[in-house]
Chains A and B, each alone.
Chain A
Amino acid sequence: GENVEQHPSTLSVQEGDSAVIKCTYSDSASNYFPWYKQELGKRPQLIIDIRSNVGEKKDQRIAVTLNKTAKHFSLHITETQPEDSAVYFCAATPGYSTLTFGKGTMLLVSP
């Protein structure tokens, strides 16, 4: 089955800095890669996703890149703000139902 590794487990940045979270996956058939943000005490919420036929996708301060050859994908957050502090999860799937999640990255943005 699919295995997703996520790094780092914690990331501390100053407000205004950029943050990068990286994930690798094992199943070359995986073709959909969502990212979720989970604030303390709240549900995970989708923030951005990418399909295997696209190398990069942006949404304001957030971008995701995908390297299918190397089987890794990354989340980039620019101009970080304190409200970006949360746990971020990457996921991958080769199919139409289940997702395999990484173990999460706790991002702390200090004012």
Chain B
Amino acid sequence: DVKVTQSSRYLVKRTGEKVFLECVQDMDHENMFWYRQDPGLGLRLIYFSYDVKMKEKGDIPEGYSVSREKKERFSLILESASTNQTSMYLCASSLIVFGQPQHFGDGTRLSIL
């Protein structure tokens, strides 16, 4: 069974802080993704990565960066947190094969005060 683990379920940070969200998957998946989930807006892709050290912008990359130094780990970085980045953040992974679903972590609910 695929396991995608996010480092924190709840996180509270202050405006201007640098925030790191960590995600680890145990199924040797090539693809990893970071989404932001807000009520009524669905799942919006922030960044994704299809290989170590590779990254691609998603639909809403502004204010975020990512790091993938190892295949199993994908980090989301808020360079200078702002209150409008308060949200639920979901990590996912998948094989780079046609028709393979994405597997999600439990999410991190981030509050920026």
- With contacts defined as CB atoms under 8 Å apart, how many contacts are there between chain A and chain B in the complex? 47
Binding-face segment, A14-22, A55-63, A72-80, A98-106 = A98-106
CA distance A6 to B41 in the complex (A): 11
By secondary structure, the A interface counts as: loop
1/0 contact string of A21-56 vs chain B (CB within 8 Å): 000000000011010100000111110010100000
Cβ contact within 8 Å between A49 and B101: yes
Question: CB-CB < 8 A to B90: which residues of A?
Answer: 43-44
Cβ contact within 8 Å between A32 and B43: no
Cβ contact within 8 Å between A43 and B104: yes
Q: How many residues of A contact B (CB 8 A)?
A: 22
Other CB < 8 Å A-B pairs besides A43-B104, A97-B96, 19 of them?
Answer: A9-B40, A31-B98, A32-B98, A34-B101, A43-B105, A46-B101, A46-B102, A46-B103, A49-B101, A96-B96, A97-B48, A97-B50, A97-B94, A98-B33, A98-B58, A101-B44, A103-B41, A103-B42, A104-B42
Nearest Cβ on chain B to A70's Cβ, whole angstroms: 21
Cβ contact within 8 Å between A51 and B99: yes
Question: CB-CB < 8 A to A101: which residues of B?
Answer: 42-44
- Where the two chains meet, the residues of B that have a C-beta atom closer than 8 Å to any C-beta of A are 31, 33, 40-45, 48, 50, 58, 90, 94, 96-99, 101-107
Question: CB-CB < 8 A to A32: which residues of B?
Answer: 98-99
Question: CB-CB < 8 A to B33: which residues of A?
Answer: 98
CA distance A68 to B94 in the complex (A): 25
Nearest Cβ on chain A to B2's Cβ, whole angstroms: 10
CA distance A103 to B39 in the complex (A): 9
Nearest Cβ on chain A to B101's Cβ, whole angstroms: 4
Q: Which residue of A lies closest to B33 (CB)?
A: A98
Nearest Cβ on chain B to A27's Cβ, whole angstroms: 14
